[in-house]
Structure 1
Amino acid sequence: MPIIRLIDAINEIVGRIVSVAAIVFAGIIIYDVTMRYFLGQPTRWSFDVTKQLYGFYFIMLGGYALRHQAHVRVDLLTARMGHTMRRWTEILGYLIFFFPFAWIFARRSWDFAMTSWNQGEVTYGAVQLPVYPLKMAMFAAAVLLLIQGISEVLKLLLDKTDHLENLEPMDVR
């Protein structure tokens, strides 16, 4: 389905772009350590910048992780089920748990971001960085997670789930 390919492609692109943030914050940490311990001139801004970059990195990869089935799963019940039962159990799990959580996450993070934006919220460190971009990223991440959940449910409904193909029912002898 084109919608599945589009959603998967969006989260794939976002995941690959955001993964560069790890290189950037690692570089900043190395720079700060070098300045602090070898040159005796610590930076005032690096801790706050790396904290925000890590938060951005961590939050923005949720949809990408779901696309690649990298989220923690509890397969204690589904491991004993056949393929069809496992598919329907996963669909129910998305409907009962995932979508309500993702919706609340999106709604609350939007409110959180708008409050921060309206207040002009900044960090409390030596260098006052704006906080609202990170909080807006939370909303974007929630939307990416929500739409990836839609893609995953569509794959389950259409029986296009490669990750379920490799699982065999557990022997309960």
Structure 2
Amino acid sequence: MSLIRLIDGINEVVGKAVSFIAVIFAGMIIYDVIMRYGFNAPTTWAFDLTKMLYGFYFVMLGGYALRHGAHVRVDLVTDNLAPMARRIIEILGYLIFFFPFAWVFVTKSWEFAMRSYAQGETTYGAVQLPVYPVKIAMAVAACLLALQGISEVLKLILKKPESHHVG
């Protein structure tokens, strides 16, 4: 189904692109440590910026992680069930738990981001960085996670192979 391919593809591209941010913030931490201990000249910006980049990195990978089956699952009950019963339980889990959570995550993170933007919220460090870009990223990440949930449910309904078995 093209909708499944589209959603999976978006989360795959986002996940791979965002993974490079880990290299950037690791480099910034190394630079700050060298400056601080090697030259006694710590940066004023590295701590706040790396903290924000890590938050961005962590939250943006939710849809990618769901696509690849990397979220925590409790399979104690479903492991011993027949495949059809397992699929039904998983679909019910998405409908009862995942989608209500995703809806709250999407709506509240959007409100959170817009309030931050309207207030011109900044960090409290020596360099006051705007916070709203990371909070907007949280709302985008919530949407990506919800979309991936739709893809996963469609795969279960259509009896498609589970995404985390795909390379």
Q: TM-score range by the shorter chain?
A: over 0.9
Check conservation: 2:99, 2:149, Cα contact below 8 A: yes
Structure 2 partner of 1:168: none
Instruction: Output aligned runs, 1:93-112, within 5 Å.
Output: 93-112=93-112
Structure 1 partner of 2:54: 54
TM-score of the aligned structures, taking structure 2 as reference length: 0.97
Classify 1:76/1:124 alpha carbon distance in 2 versus 1 (closer, same or farther; 3 Å): same
User: Is 1:123 matched with 2:123?
Assistant: yes
Instruction: Output aligned runs, 1:61-140, within 5 Å.
Output: 61-140=61-140
Runs of 4+ in structure 1 over 2 Å off? 161-165
Give the AA of the match of 2:132: Y
Structure 1 partner of 2:156: 156
Secondary structure at the counterpart of residue 43 of structure 1: coil
Q: Please, which runs of 5 or more residues in structure 1 have no aligned partner?
A: 166-173
1:161 shift after superposition: 2.7
CA distance in 2, matches of 1:80, 1:103: 31
Instruction: Output aligned runs, 1:9-28, within 5 Å.
Output: 9-28=9-28
TM-score of the aligned structures, taking structure 1 as reference length: 0.93
Q: Please, which runs of 5 or more residues in structure 2 have no aligned partner?
A: none
Check conservation: 1:83, 1:164, Cα contact below 8 A: no
Identity of aligned residues (%): 67
CA distance in 1, matches of 2:25, 2:162: 34
Query: What RMSD, in angstroms, separates the aligned Cα atoms of the two structures?
Result: 1.2
Check conservation: 2:67, 2:163, Cα contact below 8 A: no
CA distance in 1, matches of 2:74, 2:162: 18
CA distance in 2, matches of 1:163, 1:53: 27
Check conservation: 1:44, 1:127, Cα contact below 8 A: yes
